[in-house]
């Protein structure tokens, strides 16, 4: 008993002081007006009513939802690539390493490189499009395109992690299942849809949960690709976490920032609960 | 008798995908050898017309790279060592040492695991500021030294170990810490490695927290310094690419050496969102 307390004390003190208490203080502040200097005053649900009528907040949630929806398209892509890599024999490790490179590259650096690639005047992306006769755009300066441009990078950045998790799931599928179906004359495509996808569905579900949570918290790309240039697209391209950062730590309206964070928590909880509900119809636990 | 299938279509598709994956990196490297005027040419030149090292000179003469590197590395070590130690101790207690209220306390850890990190930032910032730690190395590392996720991961590892070894050690008169240190911890090495890699990766890449607790710009880790570089050299793309390259390469090298540990770490747990 005494030993147990010694073992558990550091983690518990840290959890209470640096997580539980900050969480409760965010909750409390969301019901307060917290000026940058001076005492906070309770204002009831004022922050929340203000937030519901704030077009900027709605736009930020809309942007994050759009970003998340597009990034989810990366999951079918990851499943196909994971299945291909599984069949690649000796080259497997090389492919895994290549796909993993964005994961071990500073997100800030990734944002800088893609901002250059997306440059509307002399960027590589517009140049490649011109080979196909497609007109270039100002991908990260025109608010009609920014979220799509971020989402493409988001998919590119997330593939490495998804491939590793899905690869581990693929290795757990018994080879005999494939051999038996091959004897029955099933080709690769049939095997993919009738064996790989159903047997891999628990891993696909896990990857989906992680992807949605991470996508709803997107911050780094927008900070790097839009903020530091004199970019008018920023106003229309903010994500929830960017807006939270701006309110709480740039404008120091911590009460309003706290309310945005609480709403983010609620959105993530609903999104996750919804997925657990939906999984019953598509995830197969053999 | 499985028929041997042709693998070239598989490789063809994977090579196409790999090219798309690495083009941004190749473009970054080609660009950092170009001159500022060359990168704004239309259509772009693929290979540098006149090979220039100017971008590196500008980068190293305007950015305190080594001090940023030291801050990034120092806070990473502090955070990883702290988190692994704290989480291993707590994880062992949750797995093996009964005490009253254990399940309720573990429930609290799990609950915190579900909460997105932004919900803690305002309170954590307040604590760091009130303790006078803004712009210091400990400020970067302290919150990350405590992790519900790490505790959970370590608990799983200890729970999956057979109890026989512990019993044998206990019969030999070892106290719980000796059992933990000499018997259980060595067996948990794969999980310790996984946690080290995940925590290190997260610490190295993190932007938002360092941005918040380094308001003056002193003791900046690499991501914050690199973001600042862009504010300064908004359109000097060769310099920006050189900075992005130099700041990213240390972790890429570590990854190339320790790939198996990285893959194991990700596979065993998924990355904390």
Structural domain boundaries enclosing A204:
54-282
Locate the chain B residue with the closest alpha carbon to A91: B11
Rounded Cα–Cα distance for residues B155 and B25 (Å)? 39
The mean per-residue pLDDT over the stretch A23-52 comes to: 93
- The answer to whether residues A207 and A166 touch, using CB atoms and an 8 Å cutoff, is yes
Among B266, B268, B269, B272, which would you mutate to test the A interface (most chain A Cβ atoms within 10 Å of its Cβ)?
A: B266
Please give the ipTM for the structure prediction. Answer: 0.92
Q: Is the dihedral of CA B253, B72, B223, A245 positive or negative?
A: positive
A69-110 confidence digits (pLDDT tens): 999 999 999 999 999 999 888 889 999 999 999 999 999 999
DSSP secondary structure, A100-115, as one string: HGGGGS-HHHHHHHHH
Say whether pLDDT at B271 is over 60: no
CATH of the domain at A273: 1.10.3720.10
pLDDT band at A111 (very low <50, low <70, confident <90, very high): very high
Q: Which of B85, B97, B118 sits opposite A241 (nearest CB)?
A: B118
Across chain A, mean pLDDT equals 93
Considering the entire predicted model, what is its pTM?
0.93
Q: What is the pLDDT, as a whole number, of residue B217?
A: 80
Q: Which of B7, B42, B120 sits opposite A22 (nearest CB)?
A: B120
Task: With respect to residue A160, please indicate whether it lies within any of the assigned structural domains.
Answer: yes
Task: With respect to residue A256, please indicate whether it lies within any of the assigned structural domains.
Answer: yes
Superfamily for B59-269?
MetI-like (1.10.3720.10)
State the SS3 of chain B: CCCCCCCHHHHHHHHHHHHHHHHHHHHHHHHHCCCHHHHCCCCCCCCCCCCCCHHHHHHHHHCCHHHHHHHHHHHHHHHHHHHHHHHHHHHHHHHHCCCCCHHHHHHHHHHHHHCCCHHHHHHHHHHHHHCCCCCCHHHHHHHHHCCHHHHHHHHHHHHCCCCHHHHHHHHCCCCHHHHHHHHHHHHCHHHHHHHHHHHHHHHHHCCHHHHHHCCCCCCCCHHHHHHHHHHHCCCCHHHHHHHHHHHHHHHHHHHHHCHHHHHHHHHHHCCCC
A260-275 confidence digits (pLDDT tens): 999 999 999 999 999 9
Q: Which of A119-133, A223-237, B238-252 has the lowest mean pLDDT?
A: A223-237
pLDDT band at B2 (very low <50, low <70, confident <90, very high): very low
Task: With respect to residue A115, please indicate whether it lies within any of the assigned structural domains.
Answer: yes
Hey, are the CB atoms on A22 and B240 less than 8 Å from each other?
Answer: no
Task: With respect to residue A260, please indicate whether it lies within any of the assigned structural domains.
Answer: yes
Instruction: Kindly report the nearest CA distance between residue A229 and chain B, in angstroms.
Output: 6
Hey, are the CB atoms on A112 and B94 less than 8 Å from each other?
Answer: no
CA distances in angstroms from B272 to A21, A214, B26, B98, B116, listed in the order given: 21, 8, 29, 28, 10
Task: Provide the residue ranges of all domains of chain B, joining segments of one domain with +.
Answer: 59-269
Say whether pLDDT at B250 is over 90: yes
Q: What is the pLDDT, as a whole number, of residue B205?
A: 96
Task: With respect to residue A159, please indicate whether it lies within any of the assigned structural domains.
Answer: yes
pLDDT band at A230 (very low <50, low <70, confident <90, very high): low
Buried b (16+ CB within 10 A) or exposed e, A162-193: bbbbbbbbbeebeeeebeeebeeebebeebbe
Hey, are the CB atoms on B116 and A264 less than 8 Å from each other?
Answer: yes
The mean per-residue pLDDT over the stretch B166-185 comes to: 90
Across chain B, mean pLDDT equals 91
**What is the number of domains present in chain A?**
1
Collect all residues of chain A within an 8 Å Cβ-Cβ radius of residue B93: 4, 7-8
- Structure tokens belonging to residue B30: 């080609």
- Show contacts of B168-173: CB within 8 Å, 24+ apart: none
Task: With respect to residue A122, please indicate whether it lies within any of the assigned structural domains.
Answer: yes
Among A92, A112, A234, which would you mutate to test the B interface (most chain B Cβ atoms within 10 Å of its Cβ)?
A: A112
Task: With respect to residue A84, please indicate whether it lies within any of the assigned structural domains.
Answer: yes
Say whether pLDDT at A227 is over 90: no
């Amino acid at each position: 008993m005494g030993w147990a307390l010694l073992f558990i004390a550091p983690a518990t003190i840290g959890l209470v002081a640096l997580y539980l208490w900050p969480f409760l203080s965010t909750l409390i502040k969301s019901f307060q007006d917290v000026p940058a200097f001076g005492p906070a005053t309770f204002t009831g649900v004022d922050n929340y009513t203000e937030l519901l009528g704030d077009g900027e907040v709605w736009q930020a949630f809309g942007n994050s939802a759009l970003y998340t929806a597009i990034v989810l398209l990366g999951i079918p892509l990851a499943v196909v690539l994971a299945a291909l890599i599984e069949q690649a024999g000796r080259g497997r490790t090389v492919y895994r390493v290549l796909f993993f490179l964005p994961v071990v590259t500073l997100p800030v650096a990734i944002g800088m490189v893609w901002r250059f690639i997306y440059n509307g005047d002399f960027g590589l992306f517009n140049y490649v499009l011109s080979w196909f006769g497609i007109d270039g755009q100002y991908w990260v300066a025109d608010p009609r395109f920014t979220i799509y441009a971020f989402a493409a990078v988001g998919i590119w950045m997330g593939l490495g992690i998804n491939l590793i998790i899905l690869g581990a799931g693929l290795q757990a599928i018994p080879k005999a299942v494939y051999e038996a179906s091959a004897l029955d004359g099933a080709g690769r495509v049939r095997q993919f849809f009738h064996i790989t996808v159903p047997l891999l569905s628990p891993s696909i579900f896990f990857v989906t949960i992680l992807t949605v949570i991470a996508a709803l918290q997107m911050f780094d790309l927008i900070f790097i690709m839009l903020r530091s240039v004199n970019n008018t697209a920023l106003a229309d391209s903010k994500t929830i976490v960017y807006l939270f950062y701006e309110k709480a730590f740039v404008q120091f309206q911590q009460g309003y920032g706290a309310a945005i964070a609480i709403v983010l928590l609620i959105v993530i909880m609903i999104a996750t609960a919804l997925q657990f509900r939906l999984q019953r119809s598509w995830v197969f636990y053999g | 008798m499985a028929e041997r299938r042709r693998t070239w279509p598989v490789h063809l598709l994977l090579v196409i995908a790999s090219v798309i994956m690495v083009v941004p990196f190749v473009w970054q490297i080609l660009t950092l050898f170009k001159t500022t005027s060359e990168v704004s040419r239309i259509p772009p030149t693929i290979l540098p017309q006149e090979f220039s090292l100017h971008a590196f000179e500008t980068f190293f003469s305007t950015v305190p790279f080594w001090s940023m590197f030291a801050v990034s590395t120092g806070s990473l070590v502090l955070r990883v060592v702290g988190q692994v130690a704290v989480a291993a101790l707590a994880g062992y207690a949750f797995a093996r040492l009964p005490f009253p209220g254990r399940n309720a306390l573990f429930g609290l850890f799990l609950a915190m695991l579900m909460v997105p990190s932004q919900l803690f930032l305002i309170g954590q910032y307040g604590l760091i500021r009130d303790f006078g730690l803004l712009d210091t190395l400990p400020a970067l590392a302290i919150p990350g030294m405590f992790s519900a996720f790490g505790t959970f991961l370590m608990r799983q590892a200890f729970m999956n170990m057979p109890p026989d070894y512990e019993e044998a050690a206990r019969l030999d008169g070892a106290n719980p810490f000796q059992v933990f240190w000499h018997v259980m911890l060595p067996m948990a090495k794969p999980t310790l490695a996984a946690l080290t890699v995940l925590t290190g990766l997260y610490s190295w890449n993190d932007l938002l927290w360092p941005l918040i607790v380094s308001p003056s710009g002193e003791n900046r880790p690499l991501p914050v310094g690199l973001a600042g570089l862009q504010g300064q050299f908004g359109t000097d793309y060769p310099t920006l690419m050189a900075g992005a390259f130099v700041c990213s390469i240390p972790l890429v090298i570590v990854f190339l050496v320790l790939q198996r540990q990285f893959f194991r770490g990700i596979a065993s747990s998924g990355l904390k969102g």
